[in-house]
Amino acid sequence: MTRQDSLVYLTRNDAYFDSHGFGIWAVERKEDRALIGFAGLRKFERPRHPLGSCIEAAWRFAREAWGQGYATEAARAAFADGFNRCGLATITSWAPSVNLRSQGVMRRIGMRRRPDRDFEAPALPVGHHLRPHVVFTAERATWPEQLNE
Ligand SMILES: CC(C)(COP(=O)(O)OP(=O)(O)OC[C@H]1O[C@@H](n2cnc3c(N)ncnc32)[C@H](O)[C@@H]1OP(=O)(O)O)[C@@H](O)C(=O)NCCC(=O)NCCS
């Protein structure tokens, strides 16, 4: 994204918080306040998609910010907020099966692998390497207490 594209995206996310009560945060590095990525929750509503409707957890970080635990830290904060302040019951996340880094975040924060929900991305042609997706879920009822702080 260009700087302008990022600004538009973040501004739109602010408005989303106003209308939904939760959303996608901009993530700043504490030491220098650099914008390094985003993480948070949003409604996924596609009746004809294999996952249907759910609350989706999403994250994306600048390449130079990978490998330092920032996505895990941000995701934990987003889940605690979603379960505690917003009272969400279930949060779902998914990734192409080849995207091991994103699955690493899901595993580190304690999401449950859900092979029964895995799907093939309908928008991609059969055989495309990004088509097979794996799914993880987290339930408020069983979310580890120490992560809710
Ligand atoms: C998905 C994505 C956010 C994961 O980033 P990441 O840097 O791998 O994840 P984290 O920030 O949690 O960092 C974990 C790594 O930091 C290390 N780490 C260092 N300090 C850490 C700490 N305090 N806590 C946790 N991990 C720490 C971990 O050991 C791990 O190292 P590894 O890369 O050797 O496995 C990143 O790859 C990305 O932005 N990808 C492009 C967008 C994308 O794919 N989004 C998801 C679409 S489904």
pLDDT tens digits along 57-97: 999 999 999 999 999 999 999 999 999 999 999 999 999 99
Residue type (1 letter), 131: R
pLDDT average, residue stretch 29-53: 96
The whole-number pLDDT of residue 148 equals 47
The pocket around ligand 1, CB under 6 angstroms, is made up of: 59-61, 66-72, 95, 99, 101-102, 104-105
CA 142–ligand 1 middle distance (angstroms): 24
> Measuring CA to CA, which residue among 78, 71, 72, 91 is closest to residue 136?
91
The whole-number pLDDT of residue 83 equals 96
> Measuring CA to CA, which residue among 14, 25, 28, 22 is closest to residue 91?
22
CATH superfamily of 3-148: Gcn5-related N-acetyltransferase (GNAT) (3.40.630.30)
The whole-number pLDDT of residue 31 equals 96
The whole-number pLDDT of residue 145 equals 65
Q: How confident is the model at residue 117 (pLDDT cuts 50, 70, 90)?
A: very high
pLDDT tens digits along 45-66: 999 999 999 999 999 999 999 9
Q: Report H helices in the chain.
A: 3-20, 70-80, 100-109
> How high is the mean pLDDT of the chain?
95
> Measuring CA to CA, which residue among 24, 144, 13 is closest to residue 93?
24
Q: Whose CA is nearest to atom 41 of ligand 1?
A: 60
What residue spans define the domains of the chain?
3-148
